[in-house]
């Protein structure tokens, strides 16, 4: 990869917004969303950038990516017609979609530099990333459009696709399914290989009669001298397969014979390490409680399972609560074991039902989870096949970058991302994306760097 310096400013020549409508007439009605879709914490527009290199195989026959995508989007909206509508709020406060075929706002821009000078967006420079997605007037606002696009072309012939999709309408699997359908249609297929299914009524909860209790009592939740704060840093850390392997070996060694018949997954080991590192970086008080919350997809766990094309939110939270003192002082393999156990909770359909009922109870009681820094809410994007799309003239995207989401005040959310395709040594690796109060980030970086150089025989730090 060429190592140009990042330009001091990325300037864009942006065209006027065009509205892309479905290429054929679509049903006109109002659709309801599920209880999980209605979780107020996910009522945000999630912006993601896909990075494509220039097609050097046929430079003279170069199609315009914007034209190709607009045409494909128009076809995709026939199948995913709710995404061409508008989000609406019913009299009871629940969300729905007015399927009116209004269409999807689409922006085109030309950049003043080559993609290589931005390192193909590796490292996530947030101000630059924010220029490459559809402008959202305020980060606090949600968009009435469930879907928006921005395509930015660079001097090298490469381009980025910024897709903004309402989390109230799709989860990661749903977004990935829609994006794959879009790329399939752009590559010349007549229809998506997987047809979308709505069926949101499958995940509707009932209000619980007993009083609602948070997992951690508000008086015992850990506090940080760094939070609340106005300045937040967003960073992405890359770990290759070797450093993850060393961490697993170290934990196996640490556990002695306790874990000989079990194996640790990357999610469990790295999740535990990041949770502890975050608690240290934020200097959470020792006698306070901290929460590890893992989003687990339940499409196949439900009985009967959801149809394959279901693209709504279909995940529940599995949680571990520990005193900060225990998180810091327990051998790390014990924390890993707790995470391993919590992953099994959604195997029980009663647990899933109860989670959905709790969400319904919270929505009705207008109970919203606030960001505190004392929680680590982990979402794993590595299983979504986001970097394994169909080739529509530019091979697979070489990188995928989330633009920070204002969920739980930014500071509780953590994403595990697949490695980019630019660095062969990252195969089997993971990128960890976090947002933390600016003054706590140096300590967190130190913890992440330690993991990269850690030896298996070292004592715990």
Strands 375-380 and 289-297: parallel
How high is the pLDDT of residue 221? Answer: 94
Tell me: pLDDT of 140 over 80: no
Give domain limits for the chain. Answer: 12-198, 232-386+400-453
Class of the domain covering 232-386+400-453: alpha beta
Neighbours of 353 (CB within 10 A): 15
- 3-state SS of 38-65 is CCHHHCCEEEEEEEECCCCCCHHHCCCH
pLDDT for position 256: 80
pLDDT tens sequence across 79-135: 999 999 999 999 999 999 999 999 999 999 999 999 999 999 997 688 899 999 997
Whether 391 is a known active-site residue: answer: yes
What pLDDT does residue 7 have? Answer: 46
**Which of 13, 64, 135, 391 is flagged as catalytic?**
391
What pLDDT sits at residue 213? 76
pLDDT in the model for residue 2: 33
CATH of 12-198, one of 3.30.559.10, 3.50.50.60, 3.30.450.20, 3.40.50.300: 3.30.559.10
CA–CA dist 247, 245 (Å, integer): 5
Top pLDDT among 139 and 154 is at: 154
Query: Which of 37, 39, 167, 171 is the catalytic position?
Result: 167
Fold match between 12-198 and 232-386+400-453? yes
CA distance 26 to 81: 6
So what's the pLDDT on residue 224? Answer: 96
pLDDT at 218: 83
What tens digit of pLDDT does each residue of 13-39 get?
999 999 999 999 999 999 999 999 999
Q: How many CB atoms lie within 10 A of CB 235?
A: 16
SS3 126: helix
The 10s digit of each residue's pLDDT in 286-327 is 999 999 999 999 999 999 999 999 999 999 999 999 999 999
Q: What is the mean pLDDT of the chain?
A: 90
- Name the band, by pLDDT with cuts 50, 70 and 90, for residue 398: very high
Q: Is 380 a catalytic residue?
A: no
């Amino acid at each position: 990869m060429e190592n140009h310096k990042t330009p001091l400013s990325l300037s864009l020549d942006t065209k006027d917004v065009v509205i892309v409508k479905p290429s054929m007439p679509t049903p006109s009605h109002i659709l309801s969303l599920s209880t999980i879709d209605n979780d107020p914490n996910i009522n945000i527009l999630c912006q993601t950038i896909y990075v494509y290199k220039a097609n050097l195989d046929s430079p003279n026959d170069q199609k315009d990516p914007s034209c190709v995508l607009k045409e494909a989007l128009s076809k995709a909206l026939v199948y995913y017609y709710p995404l061409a509508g508008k989000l609406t709020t019913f009299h009871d406060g629940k969300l729905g979609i007015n399927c009116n075929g209004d269409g999807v706002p689409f922006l085109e821009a030309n950049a003043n530099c080559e993609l290589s000078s931005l390192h193909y967006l590796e490292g996530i420079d947030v101000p630059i990333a924010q220029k490459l997605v559809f402008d959202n007037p305020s980060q606090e606002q949600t968009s009435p459009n469930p879907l928006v696009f921005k395509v930015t072309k660079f001097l090298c012939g490469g381009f980025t696709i910024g897709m903004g999709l309402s989390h109230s309408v799709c989860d990661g699997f749903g977004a990935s399914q829609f994006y794959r359908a879009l790329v399939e249609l752009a590559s010349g297929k007549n229809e998506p290989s997987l047809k979308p299914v709505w069926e949101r009524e499958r995940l509707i909860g009932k209000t619980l009669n007993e009083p609602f209790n948070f997992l951690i009592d508000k008086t015992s939740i850990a506090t940080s001298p760094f939070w609340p704060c106005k300045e937040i840093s967003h960073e992405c850390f890359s770990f290759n397969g070797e450093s993850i392997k060393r961490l697993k070996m170290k934990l196996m060694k640490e556990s002695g014979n306790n874990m000989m018949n079990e194996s640790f997954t990357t999610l469990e080991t790295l999740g535990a390490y990041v949770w502890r590192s975050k608690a240290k970086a934020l200097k959470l008080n020792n006698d306070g409680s901290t929460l590890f919350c893992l989003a687990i997809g339940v499409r196949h766990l439900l009985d009967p399972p959801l149809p394959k094309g279901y693209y709504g939110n279909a995940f529940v939270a599995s949680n571990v609560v520990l005193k900060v003192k225990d998180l810091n002082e327990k051998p790390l393999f014990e924390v890993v074991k707790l995470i391993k156990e919590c992953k099994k909770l959604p195997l029980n359909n009663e647990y899933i039902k109860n989670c959905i009922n709790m969400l319904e109870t919270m929505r009705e009681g207008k109970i919203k989870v606030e960001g505190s820094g004392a929680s680590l809410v982990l979402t794993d994007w590595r299983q979504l096949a986001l970097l394994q799309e169909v080739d529509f003239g530019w091979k697979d995207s070489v990188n995928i970058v989330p633009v920070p989401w204002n969920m739980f005040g930014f500071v509780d959310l953590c994403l595990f991302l697949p490695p980019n395709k630019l660095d062969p040594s990252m195969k089997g690796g993971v990128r960890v994306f976090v947002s933390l109060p600016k003054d706590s980030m140096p300590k967190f970086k130190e913890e992440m760097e330690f993991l990269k150089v850690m030896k298996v025989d070292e004592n715990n730090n």
